[in-house]
Amino acid sequence: MSRHGATSTPLLVMLFFYASTVSAQTSPFATGATAFQSNFLTILTPVAVIAVMALGVAAWFNRISWNWAAGGAIGILLVFGAPQIVAWVRGLAGV
C-alpha cells in the first residue's frame, strides 16, 4: 500500500508543475480572435471608405439627415478604434 503512495506523489508534483507551465502560455482562442480581428479590419477598410463617401454624398444631396451621416461615421470610428478603446479602458481599470 505504501509503495503505491510513494510513486504517485512525485507524479502528482510533476503534473502540478506541468499544468502551471501550460496555463502560463497564451490561449489559442486569444490568438485566433486576434487573427480574425486583423483580417476582418483589413477586409472592412475599403468598405468603410466607400460607406463614408456614400453617406457624405447622400447627406450632401439631402437624401438623408446629416445626423445619420455623422452617426454612421462615428459607428465606423468605433469599429476601427475598438482595440485602442478597449486597451484604454483596461488601462483605466488597472487590468
Considering the domain boundaries, does residue 84 fall inside one? Answer: yes
The arithmetic mean of pLDDT across residues 42-67, rounded, is 94
What digits encode the pLDDT tens for the residues 6-29?
Answer: 566 776 666 666 655 555 566 777
Question: Does 14 reside within a domain?
Answer: no
Residue 35 domain flag:
yes
Model pTM score: 0.57
What total of structural domains would you count in the chain? 1
Domain membership flag for residue 50: yes
Domain annotation covers residue 15: no
**Distant-in-sequence, close-in-space partners of 72: CB < 8 Å, separation ≥ 6:** 51, 52, 55
Q: Note whether residue 13 is domain-resident.
A: no
Does residue 88 lie in a domain region? yes
Contacts of 67 (CB under 8 A, 6+ apart): none
CA–chain centroid gap for 45, Å, is: 17
What's the domain range around 82? 27-93
> Who's near 92: CB < 8 A, 6+ residues apart?
none
Residue 3 pLDDT > 90: no
